[in-house]
Structure 1
Amino acid sequence: MSSTRLAGRLTRLLNLVPYFTARPGISAADAARDLGVTPKQIMDDLNQLWVCGLPGYGPGDLIDLSFSEESIVVTFTAGIDRPLRLTSTEATVLLVALRSLLEMPGVVDPTAAQSAIAKIEAAAGSAAAGPAAAADPVPDDPVAARIRDAVRDGRAVHLTYYSASRDTVSERDVDPIRIVLIDEHTYLQAWCRTAEGVRLFRFDRIDAARILDEPARPPQRALDDDEHLELFAGDPSLPAARLWIAPTYTWLLDYYPLTDVRLLADGSCEAVLRFASPEWLVRLVVGLGAGVSVLGPPALRDAVRARAAAALDAYDVLGDDAAG
């Protein structure tokens, strides 16, 4: 199981007890719809909670539930429903996390996060206050706010999106599934009606978003499988280039959908980049200079050499003109 899926499950487990305590008798299907998972995942999580609880792990220590697919009731919470009292260290960690989320567009409502920060600081006192406590309010990005509203309300969205691997701006209708945070970037996970598949849309590459007057209807198979959260899965229908990347250029891994990364002893790496436009990829590699080399396919390598040679020839012409 990937780290993304483990993190997602941990989040659900931490919230299930108060969720079911507030909704006694709810069915697994209704809970799954509320939480954005499948009924099978709900039942698996409940079976995991069955053996969780307080140290001692005997009668009266473990969470106790009465559940079936038709009805779920928490009979003993093991204290998870009690008001949380934070130490100064815990409050500081939580404040740092909330302030970090404010820098990630679309993850949270900035107003709600800032309100939570103010309440924690007021409760924890000066021990948890930091230099960012008096910072100006963070405005909500309008595009991120519309996407968050669409996910919350289950509405389809029309996107204007820049694709880095294709070097194009496209218009497409999508059925939102959830918002995810991967490698310090925020993404909308959605069913793309154009591609007829699940895609991840990075928030800072969404130029515009318009909520459509129709409900989001992602296919059930898109909701059942979390493999789409593996960000750099690539599009198998596109041609692939194998690249050598110098140690000082490994930042490219954060900006392009590189897969099959192999780290080398000198700090450089080899990786695969799928592309739709050979012209775009040639232009990208030439622009990066000695930091990136094409290992294959041969036709692409030859195209890069030809473009680089043409650029050098142009410099020679300029030099001759200046000398004359």
Structure 2
Amino acid sequence: MNDDTGAATRQAASGAKDQVARLLTLVPYLHAREAVRLDEAADALGVAPQQLLKDLKVLLMCGLPGGYPDDLIDVDLDALEPGGDGVIRVSNADYLARPLRLTPTEASAVIVALRALRNGAGADTRTVVDRALAKLEAAAAEAGAARIDPGLGGADVDTAILARRLQEAAEAHRQVRLTYFVPARDEESARVVDPRGVVTGQGYSYLDAFCHSADAPRLFRLDRISAAEVLDSPVSTEPEPPRDLSEGLFAGSSETTVTTLLLAPAARWVVDYYPVERVRPTGEGPHADWEVDLVVADERWLTRLLLRLAPHAQVVVPHEFTDTFLAEATRTLGLYEHLT
């Protein structure tokens, strides 16, 4: 293909894309009016009258599936020819006013297409797509349709919708009741929070909020929130902007402790599963131990982690964490002694 042919092909593709966009605007415009002059419509739509006439000739080939004359939109082209009154009249398009009804297959196709569109869209477009997805999936569920497999992007869509709701609650200064999974205790808990905003750090989205159960500010990972109810009650704490996570989840916090663990090869999975500050091999080769620095906000969480890792991990610093772990390990072993 030479340069001239390639340029012509690209120009034709661009022209077809522009025409589809014009038709999508033209159809609802004409449907809202029984009759409108060609020059008036062209001026309102921002196109030349000659171009609008070409678009109307394409509109003649659009309509319901089947392609029979009664299925297609009818445009009175005679009125637009020289000698006519120049008024656009569209008929056989009453179905445009009826609510759109999709079969399960059609709904699946639209949902998949919207999710694909969302992956490459900007923030403003994602907001519109998220609303459309939420309505479409809710309607499909009410109709008894099988839940559509969300694929790789389904969880992202659900998280985006949740993030929007929580951010709106924060901006409205309204409390939220959360059902939240706590990995450290392997359980779900219900709590009321005063939301401050949704933030992102280390690849995850979090709700920064004041938790009334803990009586302190907390970060809640959105993918661990199974339910969120925006309440009518206003927040009872002083509204504050959400924290900046650009330097880490616990940067500058006085409630955290940097802890160094010595991990044997069997315990190295900790590095992949939990956020760590630094990793230092203590020797060469695949069997060397690793010293790992991680930020600990709850000593009880660290104790439970060490019990899972025993005997493949130990605390290097601070030493008081070692004492706590040994006391808990002794107590746990004592429970087993009573069973024998």
Common fold: TM-score over 0.5:
no
TM-score bracket relative to the smaller structure: 0.3 to 0.5
Which structure is richer in relative contact order (CA contacts within 8 A, separation 6 or more)?
Answer: 1
Higher alpha-carbon Rg:
2
